Structure 1
Amino acid sequence: MSNDNSNDNSGDDDEHYYVAGYSAEEDPYCQPNGVLLNNFDITTTKELNIIETRSSSLAIEDLLLNPAPTEFAVSNLQAIHKKIFEDVYPWAGKFRVVDIAKGDTFFETHKDIEDKLEVLFDGCKQKNYFTGLALDDFSQELADFLIELNRIHPFREGNGRTQRLLLSHIALNAGYKIAWEGVSDSAMRNACIDGVDGNNVTMIRIFKVYLSLAPKENLHPALIKKASL
């Protein structure tokens, strides 16, 4: 089974999601030994982690070379996940059909994923995708958005990398960039746990520290034109 931490190739099964209310044999995403079904017929966690990390890193680099979109919807989230993982997983871009948990955290039930995502993205649209906000206000909006998106956890695997890419695009569209390389895994994990408990302060603090104004050349051409008017 693959670890969703893109900075860790250790293959530590303790970090993996498990299906809630199912046995491992009933998980449609896994082989009988618990390793995620994949396009390479790999049967060990360690080898799959290496291939997955290598493939997803290349896909993310490719996505970051393209201008960020200026509108965001549920379909954007699915397209990002598909692009990052389509070479590895046959279910890339598709929402999970099982309930999952990690540690003591249970994520949104699979039957409610699409409805909850529609509400989340509609709220983002109603707020004009958080554009035109000062750093403090943008940090709060982005923190609340990520906390809810992470709570939903729509995919069987690969949620973290998909979330970071999506938020990078949202930030660029609003004129900011996120220095994800400075955010430690433990800091993000703690912020997400606090968020589930209703405390967004830790996540807001992360964005206040690691958000900055984006260089003009990183912005979408439409935004550059708008800024010059």
Structure 2
Amino acid sequence: MDKYKYSYLDEKGIYCYQDSDVLINKLNIQDEETFYKVERLYSGLRQSELLNKPIDGNLDFEHLKAIHFYLFQDLFFWAGKVRTVAIAKGNLFCLPQYIESYAKDIFTNLKRDNYFQGIPKEDFISCVTNLLADINALHPFREGNGRTQREFIRYIGLKSGYGFDWSKISAEENIVASYESVNGNSDKLRAIISKIIYSL
């Protein structure tokens, strides 16, 4: 599973404590195991709040940033802000200097496609798969991309009468599918969306 692990280029130590992989956080927790547990707890509580009251927005890049901010506002000073370091998982995700321009293309296309509203279910699945693959390749944040993506997609689904039950797949399945989508093969990601989608 080593190829599915993240690697970062953060020579200036912008995001992590010195000589550590622990992200600098508002709680100043520097123990890796403790921070992992606390981070999951805090972001999980924020995520549960969104189940009852999603963040309204225009389904654009600013909307995605707003979701990230909400999920991680208790933990990171940079919640909702675009990363400034390179990230790789096997291959590099979008380089930081190109994130804004790539995001503009992604969300312009989403608007052009009317946010996938009023199309057959199979077409909706294909469109959501492609969008997830694109946003995953963008990977605009230093941490929390997957959770932010899933909430964004959930909001799109709500507008079209669909939900997604991510509990039907394992974390490993999702990691592998996401990895392969960045490398140009979205078959497993599409299979996941087909498996977890349901009508509201």
Matches within 5 A, 1:50-129: 50-67=37-54, 69=56, 71-102=58-89, 104-129=90-115
Percent identical across equivalent pairs?
33
- Paired residues in the alignment total 198
Tell me how far 1:204 sits from its aligned partner.
1.2
Match of 1:19 in 2: 8
Match of 2:198 in 1: 212
Q: Which digits, 9 at most, give the CA deviation of each residue in 1:122-160, with x for residues without a partner?
A: 111111101112221111000000011011110000111
Q: What SS does the corresponding residue of 2:79 show, helix, strand or coil?
A: coil
Q: What SS does the corresponding residue of 2:88 show, helix, strand or coil?
A: strand
Q: What SS does the corresponding residue of 2:59 show, helix, strand or coil?
A: coil
Unpaired segments of 5 or more residues in structure 2? Answer: none
TM-score normalised by the chain length of structure 2: 0.93
Q: For the residues of structure 1 that align with 2:139 and 2:27, how far apart are their CA atoms?
A: 25
Runs of 4+ in 1 over 6 A off after TM superposition: none
Q: For the residues of structure 1 that align with 2:92 and 2:183, how far apart are their CA atoms?
A: 12
| Cα RMSD for the two superposed structures | 1.8
Worse overlay, 86-95 or 60-69: 60-69
Q: Which has the larger radius of gyration?
A: 1
Q: For the residues of structure 2 that align with 1:36 and 1:87, how far apart are their CA atoms?
A: 13
Matches within 5 A, 1:1-229: 17-20=6-9, 22-23=10-11, 26-34=12-20, 35-67=22-54, 69=56, 71-102=58-89, 104-214=90-200
Kept in 2, the 8 Å contact 1:131–1:174? The answer is yes
Kept in 2, the 8 Å contact 1:68–1:170? The answer is no
Kept in 2, the 8 Å contact 1:70–1:173? The answer is no
Q: For the residues of structure 1 that align with 2:56 and 2:77, how far apart are their CA atoms?
A: 26
Q: Which amino acid aligns with 2:34?
A: E
Q: For the residues of structure 2 that align with 1:53 and 1:14, how far apart are their CA atoms?
A: 23
TM-score normalised by the chain length of structure 1: 0.81
